[in-house]
Structure 1
Amino acid sequence: MGGSARFLVRRLLRGLLTLWFAATVTFLLLRLLPGDPALAVADPAMTEELYADLLRDYGLDKSLPVQYWHFLAQLAQGNLGVSFRQNQPVLDILLERLPWTLLLAGSALLVTVAVGIPLGVLAATRAKGWLDRLVQVGGVTGQSLFVPSVGVLLLYLFGVRFGLLPIGGAMDDDVTGLTAWASIGRHLVLPCLSLVLVQLGSYVLTLRSTLIEALGEDYCRLARAKGLPNRRVVWRHALRNALLPTTTLVGLQLGFLVGGAVLTESIYAYPGVGRAVYDAVAQLDFPVLQGAFIMLAFTVIVANLVTDIAYGVLDPRVRAS
């Protein structure tokens, strides 16, 4: 087996182990939640016999180890169970909402990279100047922000105070064609901006630091000595190597985006997986919670796997490690 194949196999095995660990922790933590999920959907006048039947239908009458084994067996078959409240397969419920979450997280990631690279380059090429100091202050400030606080502030300013953007949902009713896409874009602005403001700082500061280091390397000095314009040295030579560490950061930030989407979607009533988690917590809907957390974990694991592979392609030394 070649080095590339071993590298890929190791990453796949690590991803599967991480998914199993995430599923196990999710299963155990949900069983520690206060309250009885059967009582949340039961009729107050229900007899003890009917209540026992309800527990049996939900599989809650069995011991915890038996429930865990049944949970893993279903998960291995791609079965996330049936919602207690909606009486529908959890997978169907989440697959209907997943595209909205991916749209939100993907848009925030693209905006972060598109804005972060120019800002990082400007700060690095003007190190210790006023623009560099301004970027550093903004980056540190962004890292200290909290998603719900930013979301509520933006919601009040642009949605309530000035009425410039929608305050909830993913699109207007009864719209089609280009009008529908325009509506989706308008509803996406505030949730996306909330996530971008919180994560942009770390990306810019990391890129700035790695680019300053790259510009001090011998190959950049040699390129300048050969008479290459500084702009070409920065964008064609130094930036390529400076982006290697930020490739890993992008994968980590996707995990943050997925986690931050739970809070953001709750604030803006955005119909993604995060909103499903918020509703399921209030309803003690174990299958939906389990399925949502596992799906989010799987999304992050796949993103990190793709990031590792991309890093291995960009830097062959990673594949040999």
Structure 2
Amino acid sequence: MTRYLINRLLVSIPTLIAISAVVFFILALAPGDPMGEFASNPSITAEVRENIRRSLGLDQPIYIRYFKWAWAFLRGDMGYSFQSRSPVFELILQRLPTTLWVVGVAYCLSVLVAFPLGVISALKRYSAIDRVVTTVAFLGFSLPTFLTGLLFLLLFSVWLNWLPFIYNSTLQVTDWGSLVEQIKQSIAPVSVLVLYQSAVLMRHVRSSVLEQLDRDYVRMARAKGLQQWIVLNRHILRNALIPVVTLVGLEIPKIFTGALVTEQVFRVPGIGALLIDSISTSDTPVVMAITFIYAILVAIFNLLADLTYGFLDPRVRY
């Protein structure tokens, strides 16, 4: 196990370095100028703009800027935003609670919905339950989140006037009434994410369980007279969950980095919305920090998913 961990870390570290370099150079060479907002301001002269550019280090070569950024990131310094002049770390911390609340609740509900429905659909294949579950999963997987988000806004906010139009990030939960308002404004974005994420998970759970139902060891377990729930728990699920664990491990980092489209539709001030705004304004430090944090989380949770294989399937040896 220790050797396996060391080998994976030796692979992950160069991969993260390569990702950081590629993203940094792409952002540095992309069209757009972080100082563009000052160009239209007649009170700011070209000399002042050049001084600001020099203070931000934008006058240095790209490779020097990259090495400075990488060294600062290793020390926990993510730099300062070109637009707000605030530390990037503080900007992310301000948006993180909203993202964890909306995206985290949505993903937990998706897992709770997808796993039992996927297993039931596989065990009752070709039945009415299976047809209903697969149809709902197909619709949830096929419809893009921006479309379902707009439909939710039209139905529940415009026509029925049940839910608020825009997410209020300044709302503080101090009493029962404010808690109800917080839940009401979270229903629409959470529901949109649950519809899509549970559909994706449900399809994988169903297909993985179906692959195991006709295996020889499952037939042998049933021939021995074991009860259905014992066969399902000990022989089917532990093998069927291996590909599902990989999918879950790759999806968990989104809980920390936000849902880009959904946050834009419902004006949820999460990290995903911060990333979109930073890309549109060429705010490189913010984009780099969020992107690289996402890459680190993917590497970590992918490693955890691989380690979980040994628990689910004793045949896996590291």
| TM-score normalized by the length of structure 2 | 0.89
Identity %: 37
Q: Which residue of 2 aligns with 1:314?
A: 312
Q: Which residue of 2 aligns with 1:62?
A: 60
Question: In the alignment, which of 148, 151, 168 is matched to residue 150 of structure 1?
Answer: 148
Question: In the alignment, which of 3, 8, 12 is matched to residue 5 of structure 2?
Answer: 8
Deviation at residue 53 of structure 1 after TM alignment: 0.5
Q: Which residue of 1 aligns with 2:18?
A: 21
Using the alignment, how far apart are the partners of 2:134 and 2:173 within structure 1?
Answer: 43
Query: 2:21 is aligned with what amino acid?
Result: T
Q: Say whether the 8 Å CA contact 1:74–1:80 is kept in structure 2.
A: yes
Using the alignment, how far apart are the partners of 1:180 and 1:13 within structure 2?
Answer: 49
Deviation at residue 49 of structure 1 after TM alignment: 1.9
Q: Please state whether the residue corresponding to 1:156 is helix, strand or coil.
A: helix
Q: Which residue of 1 aligns with 2:91?
A: 93
Q: Which residue of 1 aligns with 2:160?
A: 162
Q: Which residue of 1 aligns with 2:193?
A: 195
Q: Please state whether the residue corresponding to 1:269 is helix, strand or coil.
A: coil
Q: Which residue of 2 aligns with 1:266?
A: 264
Q: Say whether the 8 Å CA contact 1:147–1:195 is kept in structure 2.
A: yes
RMSD: 2.4
Q: Say whether the 8 Å CA contact 2:258–2:271 is kept in structure 1.
A: no
Q: How does 1:117-196 map to 2 (within 5 A)?
A: 117-169=115-167, 173=171, 175-196=173-194
* TM-aligned CA distance change 1:309 to 1:89, over 3 Å: same
Q: Which residue of 2 aligns with 1:239?
A: 237
Using the alignment, how far apart are the partners of 1:23 and 1:127 within structure 2?
Answer: 45
Q: Say whether the 8 Å CA contact 2:24–2:66 is kept in structure 1.
A: yes
Using the alignment, how far apart are the partners of 1:260 and 1:271 within structure 2?
Answer: 10
| TM-score normalized by the length of structure 1 | 0.88
Q: Please state whether the residue corresponding to 2:252 is helix, strand or coil.
A: helix
Query: 1:218 is aligned with what amino acid?
Result: D
* TM-aligned CA distance change 1:109 to 1:311, over 3 Å: farther
Q: Which residue of 1 aligns with 2:249?
A: 251
Unmatched segments (≥5 aa) in structure 1: none
Q: Say whether the 8 Å CA contact 1:171–1:184 is kept in structure 2.
A: no
Deviation at residue 41 of structure 1 after TM alignment: 4.1
Equivalences, count = 317
Unmatched segments (≥5 aa) in structure 2: none
